[in-house]
Amino acid sequence: MDRLSSLFKDLGVKPDKPKVLEARDIPSIAKYIKSNQCKNIMLMTGAGISTSAGIPDFRSKDTGLYANLARLNLPYPEAVFDINYFRENPQPFYTLAAELYPGYYRPTVTHSFIRLLAEKKLLHTCFTQNIDTLERVAGVPPNVIIEAHGSFATQRCIKCKQVFPDEEMKKLVLNAEIPQCHKCMGLVKPDIVFFGEGLPDDFTDAIPYLQYADLLIIMGTSLTVYPFAGLRSMVPATCPRILINLDKVSDIGSRPNDVVLLMDCDEAVRKLCDEIGDGWREELEELWKATEGSFTPRPEPKAAAPAEASKNEKGRPKNHLVLEEEVARMAKKVEERSKAQADRAKAKHEKQVVPDVSTIDAKAVDEKDSKESALESSVHQPHQTPHYEDANSRPVVPGKEKPSLVHKAEEAKEEDKETVAGSK
């Protein structure tokens, strides 16, 4: 019994019975999917559908990337996906991108379920917050995928918008190098929506589709990031909404046709396919099996000592431990790469020859200064020396310096309340 039903019971009020579903359970959902009434299924997906692939989410307390990146030299953890901070210092993002880049992770059973819905001609649109492109890898047709926060699939210059070659981008990112535009030498960024950026036009254009939804399935998302989270309220009032998540979120459960399934996404879709029957479960497993060669697995981490493993696993889900290990590995790798980058910059700076003032001929310096002074006075137009922010940046016209990073960070935090992140 969900919380809403429990509240009605305590108040002595009988809740409205579902007007479309026979009951708020998996058998009723399965029966509805098999009926002629259910023709257009819409999906809303988040990081929770990818965690079983080993990809950590961003906001979880223990396994989230933001919590583990806090130890890095960032003004705040989310700065790694902040467009203003990226313009100032793109290195943290690219050290992290080398770890998150597509190719290391296999699609999950849930991704294969999305493809199964597409093959059954039931999937109308899949709205996803994820940037990992695993829907594409699983074989979901690109024309039904709306990547609300963008993805690693394409990239372009943030200055002139010139598209950057895929293979070159992959090579640079995997080496944690910063790609620059061949046309204007501006910074190149994957088409991931950062804090401070607008959403893709595809997302906005697809919102009207929701009015035609016969069923909305929401999987693996906290429904806290807007405007994506607002999509749940844009389907018709009679449209059943199914939440598959480890935690109860938002207002799902408040409508008569809402169903809340508090369980792992992979487990839920398998149970649903079993209930539908007609070979759905077998087809699901075949589609997932076909993804075995779609990725290059990372080397297995060293096993923990028996005593330590026993202590850590007490009362802890295995998948939770795997995620913690993966997040720790990622954060450590990013930290190592950032330190190596700083060490290289320091070494480069130290190699610069600094003259020993004790060996300088004062008379020669005076003669040189006199010649330069005479030459300077003979020039009518004064020469303006370009001002550089740092050793690696391009010149900034004096009088038009960029606002300080601290100021930008404050603005970004304010924008975060109403602006969608990438993610994250």
**Residues noted as catalytic:** 149
**Tokens read off for 62:** 């223990």
Residue 43, phi then psi, degrees to nearest 5: -120, 145
265-276 and 109-119 helices, crossing angle to 10°: 40
Contact 19, 240 (CB under 8 A): no
Write the CB contacts of 38 (distance below 8 Å, at least 6 apart in sequence). 32, 122, 214, 215
Both tokens of residue 145? 């995928």
Q: Is 54 helix (H, G, I), strand (E, B) or coil?
A: coil
Identify which of 351, 369, 348 has the alpha carbon closest to the alpha carbon of residue 360.
Answer: 369
Burial of residue 88, with CB atoms counted within 10 A of its CB: 0-12 exposed, 13-18 middle, 19 or more buried: middle
Distance (Å, whole) CA 35 – CA 406? 57
Q: How far apart are CA 245 and CA 110, in angstroms?
A: 12
Amino acid at 288: W
d(CA 261, CA 28): 13
**How far is 301 from 401, CA to CA, in rounded Å?**
46
The full 3-state SS of 90-131, as one line of letters, equals CHHHHHHHHHHCCCCCCCCHHHHHHHHHHHCCCEEEEEECCC
Q: What is the dihedral of CA 77, 78, 84, 87, to 10 degrees?
A: 60
Question: Cβ(126)–Cβ(114) under 8 Å?
Answer: yes
**Any idea which residue has 């994820």 for tokens?**
130
Strand order of the sheet with strand 258-262? 145-147, 123-128, 41-45, 215-219, 241-245, 258-262
Q: How far apart are CA 299 and CA 406, in angstroms?
A: 39
Nearby residues of 122 by Cβ (< 8 Å), 6 or more positions away:
33, 38, 39, 40, 41
